[in-house]
Structures are given as C-alpha cells and as structure tokens.
Amino acid sequence: MNSRVNTKGFTLIELLIVVAIIAITTTLAYPSYQRYIQDGHRSDAQQSMLQTAAILERIYSRNGGYPDSELFNDLPNSAVYDFTYRHTNKPAGAANFRSLGFVLSARPKAGSVQTTDRCGDLSINQAGQTTASGNGNDCWK
C-alpha cells in the first residue's frame, strides 16, 4: 500500500521566487518614491517662500522699503530646509526698512532627504524671479 498524503502549501523554490520578485520591485520603486517625497518637500518650501515674499511686500507697501536682514525674523520653519532672508539694494545712509530688494533662500538641511534633491538651493527675489542651484529645469513649477 502506497498512500500519498496530498499536502497543500508552497515549496521553498516558490517562496524564494516571490521574495526575489518583491526585492526587485522594491529596488525599482524606491527611487521613484524618494523623488516623490523630495518634490513634496520642495513644493512646501516654495509655498512658504511665496507666503514670506507676500509678507515682505506688505512691509514694503507700508514702509517704502524692505526690512534690514537682522530686523526680519518671520522666516518659515521646516524640518528639511533652512530659510534665510537678505536685503539688497539699500541706498548708502538709508534708514532701516529702506532696502529696495530682497532675496529669500532655502537650503536643504544636512542629513535630510532633500540633500540629494536635484534642485539644490531655492531662491526668490523681490521681482518674483526664482532660481535653483541644482540642474533641474522644472524646480519652480
């Protein structure tokens, strides 16, 4: 009597093939996910910079100029970007709040996911001109 027990389940080879497929899929998908996360953080930083630029424009309309760098502390707070404000085009001998231009910058924080972002540092000035230090052509969409 030769009785065979019919067992249900997966063989070791089948399980290894599934694990290999999952590993390959993960390897291919992770860079896209990383880029998606970076795009989201960059968009947040750009939105914060545009809001700060609007605040500076209101200050300009009330005072006839932009504040000196050391007087403006209303910069956004972010876990992945460091924001800086610099006044420009201040006439010699002019009082505070008499600068004619500004530059807002956002630099990726060291150790954050943004340090490998293709756009690098972002900036915007009083004329609304935007720049990015990286090599992305569509950094400011």
Query: What CA–CA distance (Å, rounded) separates 37 from 13?
Result: 36
What phi, psi does 73 have (nearest 5°)? -120, 15
Task: Name the strand (E) or helix (H) holding 55.
Answer: helix 12-63
Global confidence as pTM: 0.78
What are the structural domains, with CATH classification, of the chain?
12-132 (3.30.700.10)
Query: What CA–CA distance (Å, rounded) separates 66 from 102?
Result: 7
Query: What CA–CA distance (Å, rounded) separates 63 from 126?
Result: 15
Structure tokens at 83: 């924001």
Question: H/E/C letters for each residue in 83-133?
Answer: EEEEEECCCCCCCCCCECEEEEEEEECCCCHHHHCCCCCEEEECCCCEEEC
Task: Name the strand (E) or helix (H) holding 81.
Answer: strand 81-88
Contact between residue 86 and residue 103 where contact means Cβ atoms under 8 Å apart? yes
Q: What is the pLDDT of residues 86-125, one digit of tens each?
A: 988 877 776 777 889 999 999 999 999 999 999 999 999 9
The mean pLDDT value for 2-29 works out to 86
Q: What is the pLDDT of residues 47-95, one digit of tens each?
A: 999 999 999 999 999 988 899 888 888 899 999 999 999 988 877 776 7
